[in-house]
Amino acid sequence: MKPFDVRRRRLLQYGFIGLGAFVGNSLLPRTIQAASLSRVSLGGLLPPDQNGVRLPAGFTSRIVARSGQMISGYRWHAAPDGGATFATDESGWIYVSNSELDNKTGGVSALRFNQQGEIVDAYSILNNTTRNCAGGHTPWQTWLSCEEVEQGRVWECDPFGRKAAQVRNALGLFRHEAVAVDTKNKQLYLTEDEKDGCLYRYTARSFDAAGNPNLDNGFLEVAEVINGRIGSLRWHTLPDPLATATPTRKQIASSTRFNGGEGIWYHQGSIYFTTKGDNRVWAYDVRQNHLSIVYNAALYLQPVLTGVDNITANATGELLVAEDGGDMQIVVLTSGKVLPLLQVVDHDRSEITGPAFSPDGSRLYFSSQRGKTGNSEDGVTFEITGPF
């Protein structure tokens, strides 16, 4: 673990501004300039608390689940990965979490909280799937769980446990990582966890009575960056999204390769996604049809953020990136700064997964996938409260 001290923080801030890693921050929403987490994180991280989590002053942690723990008669899953929250009718919320286990032993579990934040139920919403890595929430209150295997599928799950999960083959068969929904244009963007992976977009041909896209009737496209690594995108319709003969990433010769696509998030007209192979965070301005690099670890002598993985954002647009390895931190990208929000100590053989805010933004959930031992059976799921 590398200590985060004032001198190093100043060096990184100056390096960030001087090297233009955020391209002058012009791609980020204007509301980000008044974001709160940057002010909180500027004070640095305190020593580890009783749960082994380093936090800024005013924040606290609690462990809400451990792999193998019985919660409301349900055994919490191993290898917790991508996650999201959903509001309930009783002013509570649900946190769903993938299980990244092999050989059809994965799936998705859910924790239900009441209005006071007490856990009142736990249950499964998907079983017998493989390597459920990340995914994405939808505006119509479902969870899209992605299988990170060759010809992996996307499963649409009901967080409330009332409806059976449905496979959505129209979203393609490939090594899926994560999904984000463009709520304005009602299109879905998907990342692929391959060294020569691609960025995909799904467009529905029909919609339900509420205006939500039909995930069984549409077409899948792959992105090509025109004239270089950044700039305008050209979208090509895939001839065979089910990859019956050729992997999707190899069907269009001119499609652009992204080195290990990971988390993806939509906020105010932009799609943000991470690539672990080159430690980058990207931003695609949908309206302007322009792709840029938001963060590039190669531009830092001692980068705070490495092992980029899952990504989320708060209401003001501050980006939170979880580390797979690195320093086991969740790092905030905001206002021209790269600042740790938290760090889990003594979990060196694990990764941080599933960051998601409660619906009111007052609590942050995430997991250490393999805990202190590095074993999938020792995952730990945390809740952070404080002045978010």
336 within some domain: yes
Residue 257's Cβ-side half-sphere holds a number of Cα atoms within 13 Å equal to 8
Residue 282 burial (CB count, 10 A): 24
Read off the CATH number of the domain in which 206 is found: 2.120.10.30
Residue 23 has pLDDT above 50, yes or no: no
The model's confidence at residue 37, banded by pLDDT at 50, 70 and 90, is: confident
Torsions phi, psi of 364, nearest 5?
A: -120, 130
Give Dmax over CA atoms of the chain in angstroms.
56
222 within some domain: yes
159 within some domain: yes
**3-state helix, strand and coil shares in percent for the chain, rounded to the nearest 5:** 10, 45, 45
- Give me the pLDDT at residue 13, please: 34
165 within some domain: yes
**pLDDT tens profile 272-293:** 999 999 999 999 999 999 999 9
What is the number of domains present in the chain?
1
What is the arithmetic mean of pLDDT over 58-82?
98
**pLDDT tens profile 321-344:** 999 999 999 999 987 889 999 999
Q: Please, what is the average pLDDT of the chain? A: 91
164 within some domain: yes
Q: Quickly count helices (H) and strands (E) in the chain.
A: 2, 28
Could you tell me the residue range of the domain that residue 162 belongs to?
6-385
CB 187 within 8 A of CB 203: yes
238 within some domain: yes
Rounded CA separation 82/154 (Å): 13
State the pTM of this model. Answer: 0.91
1 within some domain: no
The region, left, alpha or beta by phi > 0 then psi within -120 to 50, assigned to residue 96 is: beta
What is the arithmetic mean of pLDDT over 44-68?
97
**pLDDT tens profile 202-240:** 999 999 999 999 999 999 999 999 987 789 999 999 999
The model's confidence at residue 36, banded by pLDDT at 50, 70 and 90, is: low
15 within some domain: yes
Cα 202 vs. chain centroid, distance in angstroms? 18
The model's confidence at residue 147, banded by pLDDT at 50, 70 and 90, is: very high
- Give me the pLDDT at residue 1, please: 43
Percent of the chain with pLDDT over 70: 89
The model's confidence at residue 12, banded by pLDDT at 50, 70 and 90, is: very low
